[in-house]
Structure 1
Amino acid sequence: MNKHAIHQLILEKLRDDLEVAQRAAQTAYETATHEENIAENKYDTLGLEASYLAAGQAKRVEEIRQALGLFQNLTLRAYDEQTGIQVGALLGLEDENGHEQWLFLGPDGAGLKVYVVGQLITVITPRSPLGQSLVGKFEGDEVQIVVAGTRQQFTVTEVK
């Protein structure tokens, strides 16, 4: 798997998501400020609800814009066996049941998913419990996290 190609797919996905979010924010803004949505009495809350939606959409646009900027400025480095897993690493994990997954440890954009030749790759960040436990680990290392009171164990199978 080519880490640089995956990085490009993540950038494309973020650009697409930004475009969709900007359109949604614009639509919500236009709805909130449309003259037909001016409250006629204290129970008429359509304009207020639309303004809350517009604010939320604007926040989402800013979050995506920030993630895009961080990914654009991300310098991809080859895996260094001295420092272990760092932001920008592409890695394979295997759980206790033998299920494999591929992760990209990114600076932001947690939960974003891209496919490469039918293989799902999920972006995680060092702020997540799994991301935090992976930083500095090496191929063959085991990591454990506790999610909702349940312990999960993974083995790092490959790092690029």
Structure 2
Amino acid sequence: MEKQQIVDAILLALEEKLSIARSSTQRAIDAATDEETIPEHKYDTLALEASYLAHGQALRVQESESELSLMRHFKVRSFEQQAIAVGAYVELEDDDGKAKHFFISPCAGGLEVACLEKRIYLLTTQSPLGKLLKGKYEGDEVELRIADKSIHYDIVTVL
């Protein structure tokens, strides 16, 4: 498996996320400064609410730019016969034999990308599953507990 293809797919997804964030920010700014949102009385808060939204969207743009910059400078390396850490591609199999594919990422946890005919989910080492996987090896088992539910995974592949 060529991990650079995964990183390229992540970069593409992050660029799209940034584009959407910028567009959303501009729409929120336009709404906040539109003549229609000028307060008619002291209880009319539409413009204030729109400005809060614009601020939140601007923060989202900053976060997206930071994630994109981080991934652009990310160095791909192999994790064969090494402990799982940031940069590892990990395949897990649950008790039902269902495979799940993950990339341990420095950012953008929860993002899903399509690459090499697979759905690959980004995990950070701060996520519950990411914490469990960090430091484990191919062939190990992990147990993820969420509330009163427990899921067992076998670590099938680490690259």
TM-score bucket of the superposed structures, by smaller chain? over 0.9
Q: 1:72-93 deviations in whole A, cap 9, x for unaligned?
A: 1211111152x41110111100
Distance 2:59 2:133 in 1: 29
**One-letter identity of the residue aligned with 2:143:** Q
- Of stretches 121-130 and 148-157 in structure 1, the one that deviates more from structure 2 is 148-157
Alignment-derived partner of residue 78 in structure 1: 78
C-alpha displacement at 1:32, in angstroms? 0.6
Identity of paired residues, percent? Answer: 42
Distance 1:40 1:124 in 2: 47
Distance 1:80 1:16 in 2: 31
C-alpha displacement at 1:140, in angstroms? 0.6
C-alpha displacement at 1:66, in angstroms? 1.6
**Pairs within 5 Å for 1:5-44:** 5-44=5-44
Distance 1:90 1:80 in 2: 10
Q: The residue matched to 1:66 in structure 2 has which SS?
A: helix
Q: Does 1:107 pair with 2:142?
A: no
Write out the 4+ residue segments of structure 1 that deviate beyond 3 Å after TM superposition: none
Distance 2:36 2:129 in 1: 48
Alignment-derived partner of residue 93 in structure 1: 92
Alignment-derived partner of residue 138 in structure 1: 137
Distance 1:158 1:19 in 2: 34
Distance 1:86 1:117 in 2: 22
* TM-score normalized by the length of structure 2: 0.94
- Of stretches 38-47 and 97-106 in structure 1, the one that deviates more from structure 2 is 38-47
Alignment-derived partner of residue 54 in structure 1: 54
**Pairs within 5 Å for 1:117-156:** 117-156=116-155
**One-letter identity of the residue aligned with 1:45:** T
Number of equivalent positions: 159
Give the aligned CA root-mean-square deviation in angstroms: 1.3
Q: The residue matched to 2:40 in structure 1 has which SS?
A: coil
C-alpha displacement at 1:25, in angstroms? 0.3
